[in-house]
A and B are shown apart, each in its own frame.
Chain A
Amino acid sequence: ETGVTQSPTHLIKTRGQQVTLRCSSQSGHNTVSWYQQALGQGPQFIFQYYREEENGRGNFPPRFSGLQFPNYSSELNVNALELDDSALYLCASSLEGRAYFGPGTRLTVT
């Protein structure tokens, strides 16, 4: 157990809709990162938050946005969903260089 939880476990949305995914990381882990993992691929970095501020972003469009809260929870929001957004979304908190991943949210866009 990594102490990182994500909700929901699975989600089905229609193209064009908006979705919010949630993550709760361990107390004291000030950094949270979000990754997208398409089937058969390695995870791709979306963005990272440190102390509630975005601290870096991967090659993802602005319709991917996030928030981090003081209670070590965070959100990933995706607007105008596209079919290619179907993937496993992983959040990870970090401490001393080691990443602790949650179980992921499986998003299916139809």
Chain B
Amino acid sequence: KQEVTQIPAALSVPEGENLVLNCSFTDSAIYNLQWFRQDPGKGLTSLLLIQSSQREQTSGRLNASLDKSSGRSTLYIAASQPGDSATYLCAVDDGGATNKLIFGTGTLLAVQP
């Protein structure tokens, strides 16, 4: 059974700092991995999608890496801003018939001005 873990559960950094969020999964047979952002009480916004054949994806100040063999992904945020404050969730698509997403419990990020 696929399990997804995210550490740390919460992180507080001063504005301008670079930071890394971690995601690990137990079964390397994944179809893809997605990173989402969730603001309090809101839906999920897809940030980056990494296919199983890819090693990384970049969008602006965000860079996500994927190492299937070790069951790990990282989300790197450069030059953090207060507007980056949110919960960040990673999810793996197990590639089965349903393409269901299996989520971690998220990392709550607070960027202090």
Contact = CB atoms under 8 A, between A and B. Distances in A.
Contact of B102 (A45, A55, A103): A45
Contacts of B102: 45
B101 A97 contact: no
What is the interface residue range for chain B against chain A? 20 to 34
Contact of B98 (A41, A43, A55, A98): A55
Given A45-B98, A48-B99, A97-B32, 9 more contacts: A35-B101, A40-B105, A42-B104, A55-B98, A58-B100, A92-B101, A97-B31, A98-B34, A101-B36
A99 B105 contact: no
B46 A98 contact: yes
A99 B101 contact: yes
What is the interface residue range for chain A against chain B? 20 to 34
B42 A99 contact: no
Contacts of A81: none
Residue among A2, A43, A88, A98 with the highest chain B CB neighbour number at 10 A: A43
Interface of B: 4, 31-32, 34, 36, 41-46, 49, 51, 89, 91, 93, 96-106
B44 A45 contact: no
A100 B46 contact: yes
Contacts of B98: 33, 45, 48, 55-56
A104 B43 contact: yes
B97 A55 contact: yes
Contacts of B105: 40-42
Given A40-B105, A88-B41, A106-B41, A97 B97 contact: no
A101 B44 contact: yes
